[in-house]
Structures are given as C-alpha cells and as structure tokens.
Amino acid sequence: MQDENEKHGTVDLVSVLYIVGGIPAIVGFIVILFTLVNYFPEIPA
C-alpha cells in the first residue's frame, strides 16, 4: 500500500539537459578560469 502512494522521480527534458549540458559547462568554466589565472598572474583576484 505504501509503495503506491510514494512519488517516483521523473526524467524530463530539463533534468537531462542540466546533466548533459550544465555540469560540463560549469567544469569548463572552472578550467578556463584557472588556465587564465595561470597565464596572467598579474590579474588581481
């Protein structure tokens, strides 16, 4: 009885796009940021 009333997760387009596009974009931003800091150490933080 309890199993029928529990909500299950759904896979929709927004969640798939977040995983496929959002997480790599965040990682890419961090990599580019640290690369620029290494190339241009005179940039103030």
* Residue 22 in domain: yes
* Residue 2 in domain: no
* Residue 45 in domain: no
**Domain assignment of residue 34, given as a range:** 13-40
Contact 29, 36 (CB under 8 A): no
Other CB atoms closer than 10 Å to residue 29's CB: what's the count? 10
pLDDT at site 41 = 83
* Residue 20 in domain: yes
Question: What tokens appear for 21 in the block?
Answer: 């596009």
The pLDDT tens digits along the chain (45 residues) read: 555 666 777 788 888 888 899 999 999 999 999 998 899 888 776
* Residue 23 in domain: yes
Model confidence, pTM: 0.59
Overall number of domains in the chain: 1
pLDDT at site 27 = 96
* Residue 30 in domain: yes
pLDDT at site 11 = 82
* Residue 18 in domain: yes
pLDDT at site 28 = 96
Q: What is the DSSP letter of 43?
A: S
Contact 43, 37 (CB under 8 A): yes
pLDDT at site 15 = 87
Report the alpha-carbon distance of residue 3 to residue 39 in Å, rounded: 56
